[in-house]
Amino acid sequence: EANFETTVSAEDFAEHLAFLLRWRQPVTLSDVRAAMLGGRPLPRRAVLITFDDGYRNVYTHAAPVLQRYGVPAVVFLSTGYIDTDCLYWYDEVRQRLDRWGNPLIERPSDGSTVAWPVDPRTRETLAGKIRGECKRVPDRRRVEYLDYLRARMNEPLQLTAEQHHILDPMSWQEASKLLEMGFEIGSHTVTHPILTNLPAEELNAELAGSKAEIERRTARACYSIAWPNGTRADFSPMIADAAKAAGYDLAFTMVERMNGPESNPYMLSRITAPGHVPLTALRVRASGLYSILNG
């Protein structure tokens, strides 16, 4: 669906990998860790493939393509959703707003009530603002707002088969099979909150809880985390210190820049592979030009 901006088909993903193999040298998460901790340096033009959240389609569709091309990858799991039939909270907000049938809606930022637009384009603009506000309010307010949306829906949220295919989380059995296939697993917290919106006690619980659950379920050390959402507003030096204290060696952002030997191991940048656009978009991002133009 066009709404899922970073979702690509298996065919497009294969094309992405073929391009990367021509111009980049795939490495593992373990390689990155060794290099950042002062071990063997990474090869020139190294690239690490990462996936966030823990969607089932990473196991069913992405992993076979990665195996076919012999490319390693890491999957960062939001452990509270794995092995459940729950939507990730940001997906649930989107789906409920897409189905909103009331004439009025409350804003999460200040609790004000506004008219729900009739025009589809204006409605999507407001829905986008509401989704953005959910990422900027204190986390307890975000939870309360999702409860508000649930309480005012006139019928249960029902997804199409295609939406389930895109949005369902994987199981722990599937995560374990990814490990058997040679992929690696990292943390994406327990419930995917925006960490800068959390009090210290809840922050520490998210960091430690996800790490412990991954290690319990997989019998493998979990030493890396990807910050939920991952923009500059979503992490801080204080959060990096908390991750280090929890036992993480690496943390990944979504700042869309290239990394080097001097990069902070708790603020490693990543670039996105945009969906629904020509391969040229990925080429620009992977070249480093996008980082330069994006400041």
Mean pLDDT of the chain: 93
> pLDDT per residue over 29-52, tens digit each?
999 999 999 878 999 999 999 999
And the tokens for 55? 């969607």
pTM, two decimals, is: 0.94
Spatial distance between the Cα atoms of 243 and 203, rounded to a whole number of angstroms: 9
Q: Report which DSSP code applies to 152.
A: T
> pLDDT per residue over 200-216, tens digit each?
999 999 999 999 999 99
Where is pLDDT greater, at 261 or 129? Answer: 129
Alpha-carbon distances of 200 from 52, 118, 206, rounded to whole Å: 23, 42, 10
> Where is 257: in which H helix or E strand?
none
Alpha-carbon distances of 133 from 72, 168, 276, rounded to whole Å: 35, 24, 25
And the tokens for 200? 């210290």
**Cβ contact 108:130 at 8 Å:** yes
Q: How many CB atoms lie within 10 A of CB 257?
A: 19
| Residue 163: strand, helix, or coil | helix
> Where is 246: in which H helix or E strand?
helix 237-246
Residue 280 has pLDDT above 50, yes or no: yes
Could you give the residue ranges of the DSSP H alpha helices within 56-171?
56-57, 63-69, 89-98, 120-134, 139-151, 161-167
Q: How many CB atoms lie within 10 A of CB 224?
A: 26
